[in-house]
Amino acid sequence: MILPQHLMASAKATPVPDINTQVVNELKGVVGSARDKTDTFFQNLPSFLTRLAIAAVVLIAGILLMRLFRLLIRVIVHRRGKASPEAIRRTDTSRSIISSVVSYIWYFIVVGVILSLFGLDITSILAAAGVVGISVAFGAQTLVKDLLSGLFIWAERSLMVGDVVTVNDLSGTVESISIRTTTIRNYNGNVFIIPNGDIRAIINMSRGFKRAIVNVPCPYEENQERLVAMVREEMEKAAVEIEGISSVPEVMSIVSFDSNCCTLQIAVPCPVGQHWRVERDIRTRVKARFDQEGIIMPHYTVPKT
Signed CA dihedral, 111, 115, 121, 126: sign only = negative
Percent of the chain surpassing pLDDT 90 = 6
Q: What is the pLDDT of residues 203-243, one digit of tens each?
A: 887 776 778 889 999 888 888 888 889 999 999 988 888 88
Residue 34 has pLDDT above 80, yes or no: no
Check residue 245 and give its pLDDT. Answer: 83
Mapping DSSP onto H, E and C, the string for the chain reads CCCCHHHHHHCCCCCCCCHHHHHHHHHHHHHHHHHHHHHHHHHHHHHHHHHHHHHHHHHHHHHHHHHHHHHHHHHHHHCCCCCCHHHHHHHHHHHHHHHHHHHHHHHHHHHHHHHHHCCCCHHHHHHHHHHHHHHCCCCCHHHHHHHHHHHHHHHHCCCCCCCEEEECCEEEEEEEECCCEEEEECCCCCEEEEEHHHCCCEEECCCCCEEEEEEEEECCCCCHHHHHHHHHHHHHHHHHHCCCCCCCCEEEEEEEECCCCEEEEEEEEECCCCHHHHHHHHHHHHHHHHHHHCCCCCCCCCCCC
Check residue 181 and give its pLDDT. Answer: 87
Provide mean pLDDT across the span 114-126: 68
Check residue 57 and give its pLDDT. Answer: 82
Q: Which CATH fold topology does 210-293 show? A: Alpha-Beta Plaits (3.30.70)
Mean pLDDT in the chain? 76
Provide mean pLDDT across the span 292-298: 86
Phi, psi at 301, each rounded to 5°: -115, 130
Provide mean pLDDT across the span 4-31: 59
Name the band, by pLDDT with cuts 50, 70 and 90, for residue 87: low
Provide mean pLDDT across the span 257-273: 85
Name the band, by pLDDT with cuts 50, 70 and 90, for residue 283: very high
Domain locations in the chain as residue ranges: 210-293
Cβ atoms < 10 Å from Cβ of 287: 13
Provide mean pLDDT across the span 153-170: 83
Residue 198 has pLDDT above 70, yes or no: yes
At 35, the amino acid letter reads: R
Which of 23-27, 232-236, 278-282 has the weakest average pLDDT?
A: 23-27
Name the band, by pLDDT with cuts 50, 70 and 90, for residue 18: low
